[in-house]
A and B are shown apart, each in its own frame.
Chain A
Protein backbone atom coordinates (compact mmCIF):
# COMPACT_ATOMS: atom_id res chain seq x y z
CA UNK A 1 0.00 0.00 0.00
CA UNK A 2 1.65 3.23 -1.13
CA UNK A 3 1.65 5.69 1.73
CA UNK A 4 -0.21 8.97 1.26
CA UNK A 5 1.36 12.43 1.40
CA UNK A 6 0.42 15.13 3.90
CA UNK A 7 -2.12 16.69 1.60
CA UNK A 8 -4.10 13.48 1.19
CA UNK A 9 -4.73 12.42 4.75
CA UNK A 10 -7.32 13.88 7.13
CA UNK A 11 -6.01 16.61 9.40
CA UNK A 12 -5.53 16.20 13.10
CA UNK A 13 -4.51 12.58 12.95
CA UNK A 14 -8.17 11.64 12.77
CA UNK A 15 -9.23 8.25 11.55
CA UNK A 16 -12.57 8.67 9.85
CA UNK A 17 -13.29 5.10 8.81
CA UNK A 18 -14.74 3.16 11.72
CA UNK A 19 -13.26 -0.24 12.48
CA UNK A 20 -10.91 -0.30 9.50
CA UNK A 21 -8.44 -2.36 11.55
CA UNK A 22 -10.35 -5.27 10.10
CA UNK A 23 -8.20 -4.80 7.03
CA UNK A 24 -5.15 -5.69 9.10
CA UNK A 25 -4.97 -9.46 9.16
CA UNK A 26 -3.53 -10.65 12.45
CA UNK A 27 -4.29 -14.24 11.49
CA UNK A 28 -0.68 -14.74 10.46
CA UNK A 29 0.39 -14.43 14.09
CA UNK A 30 -0.95 -17.91 14.75
CA UNK A 31 1.09 -20.99 15.44
CA UNK A 32 -2.06 -22.99 16.18
CA UNK A 33 -5.63 -22.55 15.05
CA UNK A 34 -8.91 -23.50 16.71
CA UNK A 35 -10.90 -26.22 14.99
CA UNK A 36 -14.62 -26.65 15.62
CA UNK A 37 -16.35 -29.95 16.21
CA UNK A 38 -19.95 -29.35 15.21
CA UNK A 39 -21.18 -32.53 16.87
CA UNK A 40 -20.06 -31.50 20.34
CA UNK A 41 -21.06 -27.81 20.14
CA UNK A 42 -24.06 -26.73 22.19
CA UNK A 43 -23.90 -23.11 21.00
CA UNK A 44 -23.46 -21.86 24.55
CA UNK A 45 -21.45 -18.95 23.06
CA UNK A 46 -18.89 -18.95 25.85
CA UNK A 47 -16.14 -18.96 23.22
CA UNK A 48 -17.69 -15.84 21.75
CA UNK A 49 -17.88 -13.94 25.04
CA UNK A 50 -14.26 -14.80 25.85
CA UNK A 51 -12.57 -14.18 22.50
CA UNK A 52 -10.11 -11.26 22.72
CA UNK A 53 -10.10 -10.75 18.96
CA UNK A 54 -13.79 -10.75 18.02
CA UNK A 55 -12.93 -13.81 15.96
CA UNK A 56 -15.86 -16.02 16.79
CA UNK A 57 -18.59 -15.32 14.28
CA UNK A 58 -22.07 -15.90 15.63
CA UNK A 59 -25.07 -15.96 13.31
CA UNK A 60 -28.65 -16.39 14.44
CA UNK A 61 -27.49 -16.91 18.02
CA UNK A 62 -25.39 -19.92 16.98
CA UNK A 63 -21.70 -20.49 16.47
CA UNK A 64 -21.03 -20.09 12.77
CA UNK A 65 -17.26 -20.06 12.22
CA UNK A 66 -13.91 -18.68 13.28
CA UNK A 67 -12.57 -15.54 11.68
CA UNK A 68 -9.22 -16.99 10.64
CA UNK A 69 -8.18 -13.65 9.17
CA UNK A 70 -7.89 -12.25 12.67
CA UNK A 71 -7.71 -15.20 15.08
CA UNK A 72 -4.35 -15.15 16.86
CA UNK A 73 -4.63 -18.72 18.10
CA UNK A 74 -4.56 -17.81 21.80
CA UNK A 75 -6.56 -20.94 22.60
CA UNK A 76 -8.89 -19.39 25.17
CA UNK A 77 -11.93 -20.65 23.27
CA UNK A 78 -10.56 -24.18 23.37
CA UNK A 79 -9.72 -24.01 27.07
CA UNK A 80 -13.10 -22.56 28.00
CA UNK A 81 -15.37 -24.69 25.83
CA UNK A 82 -17.39 -26.80 28.29
CA UNK A 83 -17.99 -29.62 25.82
CA UNK A 84 -14.48 -29.75 24.32
CA UNK A 85 -15.93 -28.84 20.94
CA UNK A 86 -12.85 -26.78 20.07
CA UNK A 87 -9.34 -28.11 19.86
CA UNK A 88 -6.14 -26.42 18.70
CA UNK A 89 -4.19 -27.72 15.73
CA UNK A 90 -0.82 -26.71 14.38
CA UNK A 91 -1.14 -23.98 11.82
CA UNK A 92 1.51 -25.47 9.55
CA UNK A 93 -0.92 -28.21 8.57
CA UNK A 94 -3.29 -25.68 7.12
CA UNK A 95 -0.65 -23.34 5.74
CA UNK A 96 0.49 -26.05 3.35
CA UNK A 97 -3.08 -26.82 2.36
CA UNK A 98 -3.88 -23.18 1.74
CA UNK A 99 -0.93 -22.76 -0.60
CA UNK A 100 1.50 -22.01 2.21
CA UNK A 101 3.72 -19.03 2.91
Chain B
Protein backbone atom coordinates (compact mmCIF):
# COMPACT_ATOMS: atom_id res chain seq x y z
CA UNK B 1 0.00 0.00 0.00
CA UNK B 2 1.39 3.42 -0.90
CA UNK B 3 2.22 5.71 1.93
CA UNK B 4 -1.19 6.86 3.10
CA UNK B 5 0.08 10.27 3.90
CA UNK B 6 1.54 10.79 0.45
CA UNK B 7 -0.42 13.92 -0.17
CA UNK B 8 -1.67 15.99 2.68
CA UNK B 9 -4.86 17.87 2.08
CA UNK B 10 -5.59 20.83 4.22
CA UNK B 11 -9.10 21.17 5.41
CA UNK B 12 -10.66 24.38 4.25
CA UNK B 13 -13.81 25.74 5.89
CA UNK B 14 -16.04 24.94 2.93
CA UNK B 15 -14.91 21.34 2.84
CA UNK B 16 -15.16 21.06 6.59
CA UNK B 17 -18.78 22.11 6.35
CA UNK B 18 -19.54 19.73 3.54
CA UNK B 19 -17.90 16.63 4.91
CA UNK B 20 -18.20 17.08 8.61
CA UNK B 21 -21.19 19.36 8.81
CA UNK B 22 -23.90 16.69 8.70
CA UNK B 23 -22.07 14.53 11.23
CA UNK B 24 -21.52 17.47 13.51
CA UNK B 25 -25.16 18.43 13.29
CA UNK B 26 -26.45 14.99 14.18
CA UNK B 27 -23.98 14.66 17.00
CA UNK B 28 -24.67 18.09 18.37
CA UNK B 29 -28.39 17.45 18.48
CA UNK B 30 -28.59 13.84 19.53
CA UNK B 31 -25.52 13.37 21.64
CA UNK B 32 -24.18 16.61 23.00
CA UNK B 33 -27.51 18.24 23.59
CA UNK B 34 -28.83 15.03 25.08
CA UNK B 35 -25.98 14.78 27.54
CA UNK B 36 -26.40 18.39 28.53
CA UNK B 37 -30.10 17.92 28.90
CA UNK B 38 -29.64 14.88 31.08
CA UNK B 39 -27.21 16.73 33.29
CA UNK B 40 -29.66 19.60 33.56
CA UNK B 41 -32.56 17.36 34.51
CA UNK B 42 -30.57 15.14 36.83
CA UNK B 43 -30.02 17.89 39.36
CA UNK B 44 -33.71 18.58 39.70
CA UNK B 45 -36.83 16.96 40.92
CA UNK B 46 -39.03 17.27 37.88
CA UNK B 47 -41.74 15.44 35.97
CA UNK B 48 -41.89 14.54 32.31
CA UNK B 49 -43.70 17.74 31.48
CA UNK B 50 -40.44 19.49 32.36
CA UNK B 51 -42.06 22.33 34.22
CA UNK B 52 -41.90 23.29 37.86
CA UNK B 53 -38.64 21.57 38.55
CA UNK B 54 -37.01 21.88 41.93
CA UNK B 55 -33.28 22.09 42.31
CA UNK B 56 -31.89 19.28 44.45
CA UNK B 57 -28.22 19.31 43.67
CA UNK B 58 -26.55 15.93 43.76
CA UNK B 59 -29.30 14.31 45.77
CA UNK B 60 -30.53 12.20 42.85
CA UNK B 61 -27.07 10.76 42.41
CA UNK B 62 -26.75 10.01 46.09
CA UNK B 63 -30.11 8.26 45.98
CA UNK B 64 -29.01 6.37 42.90
CA UNK B 65 -25.86 5.00 44.41
CA UNK B 66 -27.77 4.12 47.54
CA UNK B 67 -30.38 2.10 45.70
CA UNK B 68 -29.60 -1.60 45.91
CA UNK B 69 -31.74 -2.15 42.84
CA UNK B 70 -29.56 0.06 40.71
CA UNK B 71 -26.43 -1.64 41.92
CA UNK B 72 -28.00 -5.03 41.22
CA UNK B 73 -28.95 -3.84 37.76
CA UNK B 74 -25.39 -2.77 37.16
CA UNK B 75 -23.96 -6.07 38.33
CA UNK B 76 -26.48 -7.92 36.17
CA UNK B 77 -25.33 -5.95 33.15
CA UNK B 78 -21.80 -7.10 33.75
CA UNK B 79 -22.80 -10.70 34.40
CA UNK B 80 -24.95 -10.92 31.30
CA UNK B 81 -22.20 -9.30 29.27
CA UNK B 82 -19.57 -11.75 30.47
CA UNK B 83 -21.82 -14.70 29.83
CA UNK B 84 -22.59 -13.47 26.33
CA UNK B 85 -18.93 -13.04 25.55
CA UNK B 86 -17.96 -16.39 27.01
CA UNK B 87 -20.71 -18.12 25.08
CA UNK B 88 -19.74 -16.42 21.87
CA UNK B 89 -16.11 -17.37 22.20
CA UNK B 90 -16.83 -20.99 23.04
CA UNK B 91 -20.18 -22.21 21.76
CA UNK B 92 -20.24 -19.69 18.93
CA UNK B 93 -16.75 -20.55 17.86
CA UNK B 94 -17.43 -24.25 17.96
CA UNK B 95 -20.62 -23.90 15.93
CA UNK B 96 -18.95 -21.76 13.30
CA UNK B 97 -16.02 -24.06 12.86
CA UNK B 98 -18.09 -27.22 12.75
CA UNK B 99 -20.47 -25.61 10.32
CA UNK B 100 -17.66 -24.79 7.99
CA UNK B 101 -16.68 -28.46 7.89
CA UNK B 102 -20.17 -29.73 7.30
CA UNK B 103 -21.43 -30.57 3.88
CA UNK B 104 -25.07 -31.22 4.03
CA UNK B 105 -27.74 -28.80 5.09
CA UNK B 106 -25.09 -26.22 5.92
CA UNK B 107 -27.19 -23.27 4.91
CA UNK B 108 -30.21 -24.51 6.78
CA UNK B 109 -28.25 -25.03 9.98
CA UNK B 110 -26.64 -21.65 9.54
CA UNK B 111 -30.04 -20.03 9.21
CA UNK B 112 -31.30 -21.68 12.37
CA UNK B 113 -28.52 -20.20 14.44
CA UNK B 114 -28.55 -16.84 12.77
CA UNK B 115 -32.24 -16.08 12.60
CA UNK B 116 -32.91 -15.36 16.28
CA UNK B 117 -30.15 -12.77 16.32
CA UNK B 118 -31.56 -10.94 13.34
CA UNK B 119 -35.22 -10.94 14.25
CA UNK B 120 -36.72 -8.25 16.42
CA UNK B 121 -35.53 -9.24 19.87
CA UNK B 122 -38.87 -8.22 21.29
CA UNK B 123 -40.28 -11.09 19.29
CA UNK B 124 -37.77 -13.66 20.45
CA UNK B 125 -38.13 -12.72 24.09
CA UNK B 126 -41.95 -12.71 23.87
CA UNK B 127 -42.01 -16.19 22.42
CA UNK B 128 -39.75 -17.42 25.21
CA UNK B 129 -41.95 -15.78 27.77
CA UNK B 130 -45.12 -17.49 26.61
CA UNK B 131 -43.35 -20.81 26.36
CA UNK B 132 -42.09 -20.59 29.91
CA UNK B 133 -45.33 -19.82 31.68
CA UNK B 134 -45.62 -22.06 34.69
CA UNK B 135 -49.10 -23.38 34.21
CA UNK B 136 -49.80 -23.27 30.54
CA UNK B 137 -46.46 -22.69 28.89
CA UNK B 138 -45.28 -25.06 26.19
CA UNK B 139 -42.16 -26.12 28.09
CA UNK B 140 -43.90 -27.28 31.25
CA UNK B 141 -46.78 -28.81 29.31
CA UNK B 142 -44.27 -30.80 27.29
CA UNK B 143 -42.38 -31.94 30.38
CA UNK B 144 -45.63 -33.08 31.91
CA UNK B 145 -46.59 -34.95 28.77
CA UNK B 146 -43.38 -36.94 28.62
CA UNK B 147 -43.57 -37.82 32.28
CA UNK B 148 -40.89 -35.39 33.39
CA UNK B 149 -43.37 -33.33 35.35
CA UNK B 150 -41.05 -33.04 38.31
CA UNK B 151 -38.74 -30.94 36.18
CA UNK B 152 -41.39 -28.35 35.48
CA UNK B 153 -40.51 -25.15 37.30
CA UNK B 154 -41.72 -21.63 37.72
CA UNK B 155 -39.21 -20.44 35.21
CA UNK B 156 -40.20 -16.82 35.37
CA UNK B 157 -41.23 -16.56 39.01
CA UNK B 158 -38.32 -18.07 40.84
CA UNK B 159 -35.53 -15.48 40.83
CA UNK B 160 -32.79 -18.03 40.15
CA UNK B 161 -34.59 -19.64 37.25
CA UNK B 162 -35.57 -16.29 35.83
CA UNK B 163 -31.92 -15.36 35.88
CA UNK B 164 -31.12 -18.56 34.04
CA UNK B 165 -33.78 -17.80 31.46
CA UNK B 166 -32.27 -14.42 30.69
CA UNK B 167 -28.82 -15.94 30.39
CA UNK B 168 -30.15 -18.55 28.00
CA UNK B 169 -31.73 -15.79 25.95
CA UNK B 170 -28.42 -13.96 25.71
CA UNK B 171 -26.77 -17.16 24.54
CA UNK B 172 -29.62 -17.80 22.13
CA UNK B 173 -28.75 -14.73 20.15
CA UNK B 174 -25.08 -15.42 19.47
CA UNK B 175 -25.94 -15.65 15.80
CA UNK B 176 -23.89 -12.56 15.06
CA UNK B 177 -20.59 -13.87 16.46
CA UNK B 178 -21.20 -17.05 14.48
CA UNK B 179 -21.61 -14.85 11.45
CA UNK B 180 -18.35 -13.09 12.14
CA UNK B 181 -16.46 -16.32 12.67
CA UNK B 182 -17.88 -17.93 9.57
CA UNK B 183 -16.99 -14.94 7.47
CA UNK B 184 -13.44 -14.96 8.72
CA UNK B 185 -13.01 -18.70 8.59
CA UNK B 186 -13.42 -18.61 4.87
CA UNK B 187 -10.46 -16.28 4.61
CA UNK B 188 -8.03 -18.39 6.59
CA UNK B 189 -4.88 -19.44 4.96
CA UNK B 190 -5.37 -23.16 4.72
CA UNK B 191 -1.75 -24.08 4.39
CA UNK B 192 -1.35 -23.55 8.10
CA UNK B 193 -3.99 -26.10 8.85
CA UNK B 194 -2.69 -28.52 6.29
CA UNK B 195 0.82 -28.46 7.68
CA UNK B 196 -0.48 -28.95 11.20
CA UNK B 197 -2.50 -31.92 10.12
CA UNK B 198 0.44 -33.39 8.30
CA UNK B 199 2.39 -32.96 11.50
CA UNK B 200 -0.16 -35.21 13.14
CA UNK B 201 -2.22 -32.69 15.08
CA UNK B 202 -5.48 -34.04 16.45
CA UNK B 203 -8.74 -32.19 16.28
CA UNK B 204 -8.57 -30.73 19.74
CA UNK B 205 -5.12 -29.34 19.15
CA UNK B 206 -6.22 -27.93 15.85
CA UNK B 207 -9.01 -26.10 17.53
CA UNK B 208 -7.23 -24.78 20.52
CA UNK B 209 -3.72 -24.18 19.35
CA UNK B 210 -4.18 -23.20 15.76
CA UNK B 211 -7.64 -22.04 14.81
CA UNK B 212 -8.43 -20.16 17.98
CA UNK B 213 -5.28 -18.06 18.07
CA UNK B 214 -5.47 -17.24 14.37
CA UNK B 215 -8.76 -15.53 14.84
CA UNK B 216 -7.53 -13.14 17.46
CA UNK B 217 -8.75 -10.10 15.56
CA UNK B 218 -12.19 -11.59 15.23
CA UNK B 219 -12.24 -12.48 18.89
CA UNK B 220 -11.57 -8.92 19.79
CA UNK B 221 -14.29 -7.62 17.50
CA UNK B 222 -16.74 -10.08 18.93
CA UNK B 223 -15.85 -9.22 22.49
CA UNK B 224 -16.43 -5.57 21.82
CA UNK B 225 -19.62 -5.92 19.87
CA UNK B 226 -21.09 -8.45 22.31
CA UNK B 227 -20.25 -6.24 25.26
CA UNK B 228 -21.85 -3.30 23.52
CA UNK B 229 -24.92 -5.33 22.60
CA UNK B 230 -25.44 -6.55 26.10
CA UNK B 231 -25.26 -3.07 27.53
CA UNK B 232 -27.80 -1.98 24.99
CA UNK B 233 -29.93 -5.11 25.42
CA UNK B 234 -33.19 -3.70 26.57
CA UNK B 235 -35.68 -5.69 24.51
CA UNK B 236 -34.48 -9.08 25.67
CA UNK B 237 -34.95 -8.46 29.35
CA UNK B 238 -37.99 -6.24 29.02
CA UNK B 239 -40.02 -8.71 27.02
CA UNK B 240 -39.04 -11.87 28.86
CA UNK B 241 -38.90 -11.11 32.57
CA UNK B 242 -39.40 -7.37 32.54
CA UNK B 243 -36.52 -7.11 34.99
CA UNK B 244 -38.42 -9.28 37.45
CA UNK B 245 -39.24 -11.01 39.52
CA UNK B 246 -38.92 -7.98 41.72
CA UNK B 247 -35.79 -6.65 40.09
CA UNK B 248 -33.82 -9.88 40.07
CA UNK B 249 -32.99 -9.68 36.38
CA UNK B 250 -33.03 -5.90 36.14
CA UNK B 251 -30.44 -4.27 33.91
CA UNK B 252 -29.51 -0.63 33.76
CA UNK B 253 -31.61 -0.27 30.60
CA UNK B 254 -34.84 -1.43 32.24
CA UNK B 255 -34.04 0.54 35.37
CA UNK B 256 -33.61 3.78 33.46
CA UNK B 257 -36.66 3.01 31.35
CA UNK B 258 -38.85 2.70 34.43
CA UNK B 259 -38.00 6.23 35.40
CA UNK B 260 -38.20 7.66 31.93
CA UNK B 261 -41.87 7.55 31.14
CA UNK B 262 -44.82 9.68 32.04
CA UNK B 263 -45.80 9.99 35.64
CA UNK B 264 -42.33 9.47 37.01
CA UNK B 265 -39.63 11.50 38.64
CA UNK B 266 -37.70 12.24 35.49
CA UNK B 267 -34.97 14.02 37.40
CA UNK B 268 -34.07 10.80 39.08
CA UNK B 269 -34.33 8.90 35.79
CA UNK B 270 -31.95 11.37 34.22
CA UNK B 271 -29.46 10.78 37.00
CA UNK B 272 -29.64 7.05 36.33
CA UNK B 273 -29.22 7.71 32.62
CA UNK B 274 -26.21 9.92 33.24
CA UNK B 275 -24.59 7.26 35.39
CA UNK B 276 -25.15 4.58 32.75
CA UNK B 277 -23.94 6.88 30.00
CA UNK B 278 -20.78 7.68 31.93
CA UNK B 279 -19.97 4.04 32.47
CA UNK B 280 -20.49 3.08 28.84
CA UNK B 281 -18.44 6.01 27.62
CA UNK B 282 -15.60 5.10 29.97
CA UNK B 283 -15.70 1.46 28.89
CA UNK B 284 -15.72 2.53 25.29
CA UNK B 285 -12.79 4.84 25.85
CA UNK B 286 -10.84 2.13 27.64
CA UNK B 287 -11.40 -0.28 24.82
CA UNK B 288 -10.17 2.23 22.29
CA UNK B 289 -7.08 2.88 24.37
CA UNK B 290 -6.30 -0.85 24.42
CA UNK B 291 -7.06 -1.27 20.74
CA UNK B 292 -4.64 1.47 19.87
CA UNK B 293 -1.97 -0.08 22.07
CA UNK B 294 -2.50 -3.40 20.33
CA UNK B 295 -2.05 -1.86 16.92
CA UNK B 296 1.08 -0.06 17.90
CA UNK B 297 2.71 -3.21 19.21
Asked if chains A and B come from one complex, the reply is no
Chain B residues within 8 Å of A, Cβ to Cβ: none
